[in-house]
Amino acid sequence: MNRPQSVEKMTQIIKKLPGIGPKMAERISYHILKMPQSEVNRLIDSINSGRQKMKYCRICFNLNESDPCPICSDNTREKNILCVVETPQDLIAVSKVKEYNGLYFVLGGALSPLDAIGPDDIKISQLIERLKNDKIGEVIIATDTDSKGETTALYLAQTIKPLGIKVSRLGYGLPVGGDIEYADEITISRAIAGRKEM
Amino acid sequence: MNRPQSVEKMTQIIKKLPGIGPKMAERISYHILKMPQSEVNRLIDSINSGRQKMKYCRICFNLNESDPCPICSDNTREKNILCVVETPQDLIAVSKVKEYNGLYFVLGGALSPLDAIGPDDIKISQLIERLKNDKIGEVIIATDTDSKGETTALYLAQTIKPLGIKVSRLGYGLPVGGDIEYADEITISRAIAGRKEM
């Protein structure tokens, strides 16, 4: 006996969500089929209402419930320093750090030549335009430390420096609370290069 | 900045799906927020139409698109042997095995005293009733080999044997294609106990 067609269809769609493999997609499909109708309604309502309420901030392209977003409308923030991140989730992570009180810019992804994602596919031209208009003095690049994030950081540095703006990248090193035994070689070598006198 | 309320709500609901942790639920929520509307419609339609089309077979309690299900309506099958499984997914897995041509019964779960799931919470009374009415000569118990599945198998054996029906359990041993090096002790000891002369 094969998978019923309805399950097959749900599984095909659910497995396209990030981090979900085919087996897990099947398990989730059967789970949804057996859920009480009230729970299914809650799931669907949260999707529909979320999509209705969420909007991109026209200034920083953060995905949130207001435009401009609370950060861009916050007048107590330093206006001349900008932290560039890939996603709204990255913005939330950086915003937990009390030491940073500047503004943000969400690229909406990272450059990835292998996936044919170039500068026009993320918000690079909008970033450059903002840098020119808003008198930003420093840009902190906080893209991921994988190869896409690194490529993006390099491209941004090359594009932004000629505008006379200071560009920095988050420091590399050992994650706090981490065990050196389990750190990879590249991280350790970066941590040595970035060592601080005690 | 905290997670927007809409994302928070989606995340809380999505993380209840099986195998999805809080971080993954957040990632999926943002993914769904950014998906084209057509894809969201396909996702929601597949859920609604799946839930509309899928039904339980009144004979074996398999979850599929017809009642009775294709297996129970198949007259070429052996009618006196019944394979008992926990879920519809398990039924599909066993049905790939060409050597078995009998019928099935889906319990809809397994006994789990710790989770307060007792015989009345799964389809055990319906199974017993069917065994009495349908002149079943042999029951093959194909519940999972974890502690819940084992508890269920033991309980079923004790309940069914007094009816004068032969009860067997799937054989234990090494998974085919597996590496002995990575097999756990209990599996190896069961494989030794179940060794076959060559």
B50-55, Cβ contacts within 8 angstroms, sequence gap of 24 or more: B50/A6, B50/A7, B50/A9, B50/A10, B50/A29, B50/A32, B50/A33, B51/A32, B51/A33, B51/A37, B51/A40, B53/A4, B53/A5, B53/A6, B54/A4, B54/A6, B54/A7, B54/A33
Domain CATH for A148: 3.40.1360.10
Please check whether residue A49 touches B, CB under 8 A: yes
pLDDT in tens, A156-169: 999 999 999 999 98
For residue B197, count other CB atoms closer than 10 A to its CB. Answer: 3
Pairing of strands B138-141, B103-106: unpaired
For residue B118, count other CB atoms closer than 10 A to its CB. Answer: 12
From chain A, the residues in CB contact with B10 under 8 A are 46-47, 50
pLDDT in tens, A25-76: 999 999 999 999 999 999 999 999 999 999 999 999 999 999 999 999 999 9
**Residues of the domain holding B25:** 5-53
> Helix B124-133 to helix B147-160 angle, to the nearest 10 degrees?
40
Would you say how long chain A is, in residues? 198
Of the candidates A37, A128, A48, which has an alpha carbon nearest to the alpha carbon of residue A84? A128
- In terms of domains, do A27 and A94 share one? no
- In terms of domains, do B48 and B81 share one? no
- In terms of domains, do B82 and B18 share one? no
Q: How many domains does chain A have?
A: 2
Count of A–B CB contacts within 8 Å? Answer: 133
Contact B110, B149 (CB under 8 A): yes
> Per the CB < 8 Å rule, is B50 touching A3?
no
From chain B, the residues in CB contact with A48 under 8 A are 44
- In terms of domains, do B80 and B156 share one? yes
Evaluate whether residue A106 is within a structural domain: yes
Q: Is the dihedral of CA B78, B84, B88, B92 positive or negative?
A: negative
Is 70 exceeded by the pLDDT of residue A129? yes
- Partners of A136 in beta bridges: none
Evaluate whether residue A191 is within a structural domain: no
Q: Has this prediction a pTM greater than 0.95? A: no
Q: Which residue in chain B has the smallest CA separation from A2?
A: B92
Residues 1-20 of chain A whose Cβ lies under 8 A from any Cβ of chain B: 1-7, 9-10, 13-14, 16-20
Contact A35, A29 (CB under 8 A): no
Residues 71-130 of chain B whose Cβ lies under 8 A from any Cβ of chain A: 71, 87-89, 91-92, 95
Evaluate whether residue B187 is within a structural domain: no
Give dist(CA A106, CA A43) in Å, integer: 28
Give dist(CA B183, CA B122) in Å, integer: 32
- In terms of domains, do A105 and A156 share one? yes
Give dist(CA A118, CA A107) in Å, integer: 12
- In terms of domains, do B41 and B112 share one? no
Please check whether residue A29 touches B, CB under 8 A: yes
Q: In this structure, what are the phi and psi dihedrals at residue B57, rounded to the nearest 5 degrees?
A: -70, 130
Domain CATH for B34: 1.10.8.420
Evaluate whether residue B10 is within a structural domain: yes
Per-residue pLDDT of chain B (198 residues; tens, 9 = 90+): 788 999 999 999 999 999 999 999 999 999 999 999 999 999 999 999 999 999 999 999 999 999 999 999 999 999 999 999 999 998 988 888 878 899 999 999 999 999 999 999 999 999 999 999 998 999 999 888 889 999 999 999 999 999 999 999 888 887 877 777 777 888 887 777 777 766
- In terms of domains, do A26 and A81 share one? no
